[in-house]
Amino acid sequence: MASRPTLASLAEELGLSRQTVSNAINAPERVKPDTLRRVNELISASGYRPNAAARQLRTRRSRNLGFRLMPTGDGINGAILDRFLHALTENLQDHGYRVTLFAARNDEAEMQSYEELLETSDLDGFVLTGTHHGDARTDWLMARDIPFVTFGRPWTGSGNDEDCAHSWVDVDGQAGTAEATTYLLGRGHQRIGFLGWPAGSGVGDDRRAGWASSLGTALPPSDLEALAIGVDDGARQGAEGARQLLERGATAVVCASDSLALGASEQLRAAAPGTPPAVIGFDDTPVASALGLSSVAQPVEAAAVAIVDILRHVLDGAPEQPVPVTHRLLKPRLVLRDGGGPLASPHTH
Amino acid sequence: MASRPTLASLAEELGLSRQTVSNAINAPERVKPDTLRRVNELISASGYRPNAAARQLRTRRSRNLGFRLMPTGDGINGAILDRFLHALTENLQDHGYRVTLFAARNDEAEMQSYEELLETSDLDGFVLTGTHHGDARTDWLMARDIPFVTFGRPWTGSGNDEDCAHSWVDVDGQAGTAEATTYLLGRGHQRIGFLGWPAGSGVGDDRRAGWASSLGTALPPSDLEALAIGVDDGARQGAEGARQLLERGATAVVCASDSLALGASEQLRAAAPGTPPAVIGFDDTPVASALGLSSVAQPVEAAAVAIVDILRHVLDGAPEQPVPVTHRLLKPRLVLRDGGGPLASPHTH
């Protein structure tokens, strides 16, 4: 393996001080433009690039992994990613790794950040969230042989997530909404609505599929079509969607998020005062708990443990060993509450 | 300034490869015990220590700041620190800085992490949360001249937080509970209870002081004593505390947290069905919003901006300039909702 250009070797070749080269990389505003240009040209020519950095990742241990902090949104659904970050940080730390956070407006900006981080920091790899169909980020990282694991499937759309060439850990949302729907069927509901997001999101379509598969034998296809509504995520949108579902004869609603469930529960409560609303949310957020709403809980702690296991295999394994690609689909858990309002005690299933 | 020992200089002196020295620091389990001992002895003797690292902080720019991720708790109150972390990461990023996260069980472990991070990473400084009376962390950092800013006052107990030798940014909790209490007085309540934490926490005592100062002229001191209750944070504890306050004739409750307010609102709702509970929480969490509860909102975005401003002055300023110690106490904002339940519209003040 060719030795990696260092600050010292770059400085020597250019006849500059190490500090000047360091400034050119880390604080370019402090460096004269023509000096900056000379440094950057040599850096480009010398292979001091993400590709080179990638080759070093298996031998140089910064013990730091990059993680993009997603926007918080309404604070309800974003909470699941914050919980995941806590679990990830704690589990990585148990094995001597830290997390380097960065923000990015979109996937393009995220890839730009990868490039900057790999040039200026010595990250060992990345953990990605928010995977989606046609995700350019995973292609970018694979092309450069940068270690990473995604919390989320690739959502290729062809159902072949198991063929995916990179490691991922995800939660089986379909199984979660299927269990929620089956539970409501068992409580005597037949016209169970699904309140999700507009079609086309891997996560949303997957959650809808779980509801449809459980309800499929109970209702004719035309009813299935009428009883599924896609709206933008949010409590007010959930209330409006639930209002339409009630008009179409729904007596219970399975939701793709707790934000939607919050709005839906309010509609069902208003439609039948005194009756606990038959609404099941997703993510078991503090809001669901506070409102006494049932919800599908993602095992984020187990997901973090699985991701750390995979990364340790990649990063701490012997360099000459082939790195196995690992896919782990975890089962969510239906948390039942009586929906009667705040502080209601959970009842057993 | 003496030049800092590098991996290369350590390796040369010991007749070892750089990789071996790197492993001894970053992956000691891979190094033979006697080699590890030799490396560690030289590292100790050579000044490759936090003190030395600290001296480097003003000249070497990793553009990375350390931040300890606190445990989530019940997910309600912890949300404020997650929101702060989002705002901090985004604002730091606008100025080319990243956040390195770490976990720690307690302050001792946090200081241990400082030491490890300063030895193995090149952090420019730290942002601290959870400050408290007798906080050893700030002493540790000041003794080593490590740049840092706290989100939170030092709570010295003598009221001289303005004399504090390090920079801090905080939110004026006292002003928040005072405004909440004044609002309830204006709505005709006189026996307004305060539901907080056991005495002795700087943050909790400060929030109680705001309630007491606003109520002080309306009630005799003995009533003030009876109408303040300290319990551990949590919804169930809040419900129990509010039950006691109702027994003592309280008609409204100002709370030190939304977790407490969640429990208190349930008690007041049960005591007077159909009447929106006169409860005001703290932190304006998604739970308060979902339940239609009024709450005191901390300006975490403004706090993050202020902290980044101070850090930029310290880190990006000319090294020879004296660094001013800055204290910023921000005003919180009372967010009014009618307390009538989920999705209630906020009314204007």
Domain B173-298: give its CATH code.
3.40.50.2300
CB nearest to A89's CB, from B64, B69, B117? B69
pLDDT tens by residue, A69-86: 988 777 777 788 999 999
Confidence of residue B329 (pLDDT cuts 50, 70, 90): very high
pLDDT tens by residue, A292-332: 999 999 999 999 999 999 999 888 876 666 678 999 999 99
In the predicted structure, residue A68 carries a pLDDT above the cut 80:
yes
Long-range contacts of A77-82 (CB under 8 A, 24+ apart): A77/A233, A77/A257, A77/A258, A77/A259, A77/A283, A77/A285, A79/A283, A79/A285, A79/A286, A79/B75, A79/B79, A79/B82, A79/B286, A80/A283, A80/A285, A80/A298, A80/A300, A81/A129, A82/B72, A82/B79, A82/B82
Domain B64-171+299-332: give its CATH code.
3.40.50.2300
For tokens 């095992």, what's the residue? A299
Confidence of residue B25 (pLDDT cuts 50, 70, 90): low
B2 near A CB under 8 A = no
pLDDT tens by residue, B128-159: 999 998 899 999 999 998 999 999 999 987 66
CB of B246 within 8 A of CB of B268?
Answer: yes
Q: Out of A76-90, A262-276, B41-55, B125-139, pick the least confident.
A: B41-55
Confidence of residue B1 (pLDDT cuts 50, 70, 90): very low
Q: Can you give the pTM of this predicted structure?
A: 0.79
Q: What is the ipTM of this complex?
A: 0.77
CB of B259 within 8 A of CB of B235?
Answer: yes
Higher pLDDT, A212 or B291: A212
In the predicted structure, residue B281 carries a pLDDT above the cut 90:
yes
Q: Out of A4-18, A254-268, B133-147, pick the least confident.
A: A4-18
The 10 Å Cβ neighbour count of residue B348 is 4
Q: Out of A101-115, A135-149, B38-52, pick the least confident.
A: B38-52
- Nearest C-alpha neighbor of B29 from the set A127, A147, A123, A61: A61
The rounded distance, in Å, linking the Cα atoms of A297 and A191 is: 24
Q: Average of pLDDT values for A105-114?
A: 93
Residues 26-85 in B contacting A (C-alpha not used; CB under 8 Å)? 26-27, 59-64, 67, 69, 71-72, 74-76, 79, 82-83, 85
The rounded distance, in Å, linking the Cα atoms of A248 and A255 is: 16
Nearest Cα of chain A lies from the Cα of B103 at a distance, in angstroms, of 6
3-class SS of residue B121: coil
Q: At what angle do helices B18-26 and B33-46 cross, to 10 degrees?
A: 90
Q: For residue B260, what are the contacts with CB-CB under 8 A and spacing of at least 6?
A: B195, B196, B231, B233, B234, B235, B237, B238, B241, B281
B102 near A CB under 8 A = yes
pLDDT of residue A30: 66
Cα distance from N-terminal residue to C-terminal residue, chain A: 59
pLDDT of residue B343: 44
The rounded distance, in Å, linking the Cα atoms of A47 and A121 is: 16
In the predicted structure, residue A179 carries a pLDDT above the cut 50:
yes
In the predicted structure, residue A208 carries a pLDDT above the cut 80:
yes
pLDDT of residue B307: 97
Which residues on chain A are in Cβ contact (under 8 Å) with B85? 69, 101
Fold identical between B64-171+299-332 and B173-298? yes
B270 near A CB under 8 A = no
Cβ-defined contact of B85 to A62 (cutoff 8 Å): no
State percent of chain A over pLDDT 70. Answer: 85
CB of A291 within 8 A of CB of B342?
Answer: yes
Cβ-defined contact of B342 to A262 (cutoff 8 Å): yes
For B82, the closest chain A residue by CA position comes to: A82
**Sheet strands side by side (includes B64-69):** A327-330, A168-171, A148-151, A125-129, A64-69, A98-103, B98-103, B64-69, B125-129, B148-151, B168-171, B327-330
Q: In CATH, what class is A64-171+299-331?
A: alpha beta
Cα distance from N-terminal residue to C-terminal residue, chain B: 59
Q: Average of pLDDT values for B195-223?
A: 93
User: Domain limits of chain A?
Assistant: 7-48, 64-171+299-331, 173-298
State percent of chain B over pLDDT 70. Answer: 85
Torsions phi, psi for B191 (to 5 deg): -85, 80
Higher pLDDT, A16 or A58: A16
Higher pLDDT, A169 or B163: A169
Confidence of residue A15 (pLDDT cuts 50, 70, 90): confident
Higher pLDDT, B321 or A189: A189
Q: Average of pLDDT values for A142-155?
A: 94
DSSP summary character for residue B5: P
For A258, the closest chain B residue by CA position comes to: B290
pLDDT of residue B16: 85
CB of A326 within 8 A of CB of A153?
Answer: no
Domain A7-48: give its CATH code.
1.10.260
pLDDT of residue B30: 66
- Name residue A103's beta-bridge partners: A69
- List the beta strands (DSSP E) in chain B: 64-69, 98-103, 125-129, 148-151, 168-171, 192-196, 228-230, 252-255, 279-282, 294-297, 327-330, 333-335
Q: Average of pLDDT values for B96-118?
A: 92
For tokens 């997957």, what's the residue? A206
pLDDT of residue B70: 87
For tokens 């002080």, what's the residue? B216
pLDDT of residue A305: 97
pLDDT of residue A49: 40
State percent of chain B over pLDDT 90. Answer: 59
